[in-house]
Structure 1
Amino acid sequence: MAKGKGGALDCCAACGAAACCCFIVLIVIALAGLGIAKIVMGAIHLDDCSIEKLIPIWLIVSGCAPILFGGMGKQSGEDGGDTNPCAIVCGVIGFLFNLAWLICGSVWVYPNYNTVTADDYVQCTANITTGCTEGNCDKNLITFAFAMATLDWIFMGLWIVLIGFIICRACK
């Protein structure tokens, strides 16, 4: 086996490519795990948030949507080279749905998180009718939903930056 001048460079490039692939696989597994955790948490606590009944539903749908829309933009055309325009449209629709659903979830989660986790939070009962809040929400559920909404905004921001970079690169 003869080594050329680029032997070390070829090895570094191969190691870099392998590391990149491993990193992408780990990210995909982590995101799938988060999606499954959202579905499970929303299903377990479906009736545990009377202050905003849509929070568990938001978790379930936000866990399912990326799994359903995830592969739509990855299909190649019939010749195997260009991307199918229908797949691009479906990917854009999926992205816009996830963005709109994230906005809805943020409207439901963020104000209620501050209410439920406040030190002076008191739920209204038969004995307590003043200085209290109508409805209740499981603290584990609202904290998990708050963390997931925040993570989703971080990932949405990264996706928007990546899409902008790809568009700028394609225009050059």
Structure 2
Amino acid sequence: MSGEDEDFKEDRPPMQVLSSILASLRLIDSARERSELEREDLHATMRIVLAVLMFILLLVLSIHEVVIAAAKMTSCPVAPLIPVWLIVSGLMGILRNTGAIVCSIYEDKKRRAIAIRDCILGLFTALWIMWLIVGSYWTYSVYDKVVYQSNKENYCDQLLYCFTFSLITTSYVIIGITFCCMIYCVVFLCCHNSSVAIIT
């Protein structure tokens, strides 16, 4: 720096130096706030994109359930209720997922509307879990008996049976993973809160 610059800075009154420092701090704060807002916007956008992708995946899966079951309706004499289970399960999935998206789009901030929406979605989920248990019985009970040759008495179409078996098994795996994650979160929060309470 030159001597003139140093003289200039030294000649400024303290209030001017202080206001210059405060202006610099405000710029830093506004840049930080802008950065945080951009990050929040990015997170919100990613949540929306993931929700849409999940909705599309679940909708396609539910449509496949209905289509496969309708096409193979009489192709499982060993367990004739498996196609019925697939159709009902697919229709329930379509209704539940479409209802969740519609409720999210027309989200009302009133507590009563939110409570009604949550009750309806909870009811659909409870019915789906009960229907999953029924389908599990119908599918797993013939696991040792089922054959894929159409001229046999215990015949069931391979695509129909394997799709149903895989769908039910995957559902249980996802439920199990979700349950374990919830238990982990509860334990973590309880332990974390108790350690915080001890410290404070």
Shared fold per TM-score greater than 0.5: yes
Q: 2:142 — aligned with what?
A: 112
Structure (1 or 2) with the larger CA radius of gyration: 2
Per-residue deviation, residues 140-160 of structure 1 (Å, max 9, x unmatched) = 110001111122223444666
Q: Distance in 2 between matches of 1:25 and 1:146?
A: 27
SS of the aligned residue for 1:32 comes to helix
Q: 1:144 — aligned with what?
A: 163
Q: Is the 8 A contact 1:75 1:87 kept in 2?
A: no
Q: 1:33 — aligned with what?
A: 60
- Matching of residue 54 in structure 1 with residue 81 in structure 2: yes
Q: Which runs of 5+ in 2 are unaligned?
A: 1-26, 190-200
Of all paired residues, the percent bearing the same amino acid is: 27
Q: How far is 1:50 from its partner? A: 0.2
Q: How far is 1:24 from its partner? A: 1.2
Q: Which runs of 5+ in 1 are unaligned?
A: 126-133
Q: Distance in 1 between matches of 2:40 and 2:146?
A: 51
Q: Distance in 1 between matches of 2:151 and 2:117?
A: 50
1:1-172 correspondence runs (5 A): 4-70=31-97, 71=99, 74=103, 80-84=109-113, 85-116=115-146, 134-157=153-176
Q: Is the 8 A contact 2:74 2:80 kept in 1?
A: yes
- Higher helix residue share: 2
Q: Is the 8 A contact 2:58 2:93 kept in 1?
A: no
Q: How far is 1:54 from its partner? A: 0.5
Q: Is the 8 A contact 1:99 1:156 kept in 2?
A: no
Q: How far is 1:15 from its partner? A: 1.6
Per-residue deviation, residues 38-68 of structure 1 (Å, max 9, x unmatched) = 0001000000000000001111000001222
SS of the aligned residue for 2:74 comes to coil
Number of residue equivalences: 156
> Which 4+ residue blocks in structure 1 deviate beyond 6 angstroms?
121-124, 161-166
Equivalent AA in structure 2 for residue 82 of structure 1? R
Per-residue deviation, residues 106-152 of structure 1 (Å, max 9, x unmatched) = 111123234336xxx87875xxxxxxxx3210111100011111222
Q: How far is 1:18 from its partner? A: 1.3
Q: 1:131 — aligned with what?
A: none
SS of the aligned residue for 2:143 comes to helix
Q: Is the 8 A contact 1:72 1:90 kept in 2?
A: no
Q: Is the 8 A contact 2:69 2:83 kept in 1?
A: yes
Q: 1:128 — aligned with what?
A: none
Q: Distance in 2 between matches of 1:97 and 1:72?
A: 15
More deviation, 7-16/141-150: 7-16
